[in-house]
Amino acid sequence: MGIERFSVRMRAAEGTSHEAGGKHISGGEGLCIRQQISQKTEKLLHKALTHSRGKADFIRITIEKLQLERQQCGFPLATYSEQATTIEEGRKRVTEHLYQGNIGMPAIQAALAFLSSTPNMRGAILMDGETGERLDNRGQKGIRVSRMDWDPDFYKEWLQCHPTLSSPRIAEAIALATKVMNSKDTLAELCWSDDPEYTTGYVATKKGYIRIPHLKEEGSESGGRVFFIQRTTNIPNYIAYLEREPLLIGGEFGHE
């Protein structure tokens, strides 16, 4: 009758809370069994307290029990790594992959321009995959994808096949992109970090998770996530899926 997991999530801001206009520092989400709640919480707190974007003055941690169904377990996206040596080249790769993924040129340009000029987003924006029009009205809060994680044993097995990809940041990004691409409403995703030192980003399409280096200048705090969708998507349902529906990568059901 389903499997029990706890959703543990964190968001941190500098100055004051996000709601009161503080600067977004860091966020994180995970799923774990009851016995690992303290450990998971400690990891997220450490992430918030040692972040390159600044000093966290407000930290919110939420811990909540979930029951997962069989269909809420799944496999991660296939992963590819592209080469690029300059920002121009990196963004050219982005454009090619999104275009091959049926995203229109106006939307690709709008997404690149958005991520280049947005230093304080805490979630993702929804964009019309053809015209580039923003389709959510969440402002800087955006939409925070939540309640997804790797099963720890499955992750260890996966790492043996992907030894060069062993960082929590990459694991978190693949989990998020897998959940986003699991919705039939998502056409593609573009992401790069808002952390000043991390300039590799990715495109997720039906093909998989494609890592691309040099998507922004080192030192820039501009970054975020754009989910490309069809204009006809039922937005409230789509947001409810992203924010609330759990996804456990691997796990008891992943091995069947």
At closest approach, how far in Å is the CB of 51 from Mg ion? Answer: 8
172 touching Mg ion, by CB under 5 A: no
Identify what 198 binds: Mg ion, ligand WAQ, none; CB under 5 to 8 Å per kind.
ligand WAQ
Q: Which of 7, 22, 27, 91 binds ligand WAQ (CB under 6 A)?
A: 27
21: left (phi over 0), alpha (psi -120 to 50) or beta: left
Angle at 9 between CA 6 and CA 10, to 5 degrees: 155
Can you tell me the distance from the alpha carbon of 147 to that of 176, in angstroms, rounded to the nearest whole number? 9
Choose one: 68-76, 114-122, 191-199, 232-240; the region binding Mg ion (CB under 5 A). 191-199
Q: Which of 14, 57, 96, 195 binds Mg ion (CB under 5 A)?
A: 195
29 touching Mg ion, by CB under 5 A: no
58 touching ligand WAQ, by CB under 6 A: no
Identify what 245 binds: Mg ion, ligand WAQ, none; CB under 5 to 8 Å per kind.
none
Can you tell me the distance from the alpha carbon of 181 to that of 249, in angstroms, rounded to the nearest whole number? 13
Nearer to Mg ion, 51 or 207 (CB): 51
DSSP string over 196-249? TT---EEEEETTEEEEES--S-TT----EEEEEE-TTS-HHHHHHHHHH--EEE
Can you tell me the distance from the alpha carbon of 2 to that of 23, in angstroms, rounded to the nearest whole number? 38
Instruction: Give the closest residue to 150 by CA, choosing from 182, 175, 178, 179.
Output: 175
121 touching ligand WAQ, by CB under 6 A: yes
Q: Which of 30, 201, 251, 254 binds ligand WAQ (CB under 6 A)?
A: 201
Contact set with Mg ion (CB under 5 A): 194-195
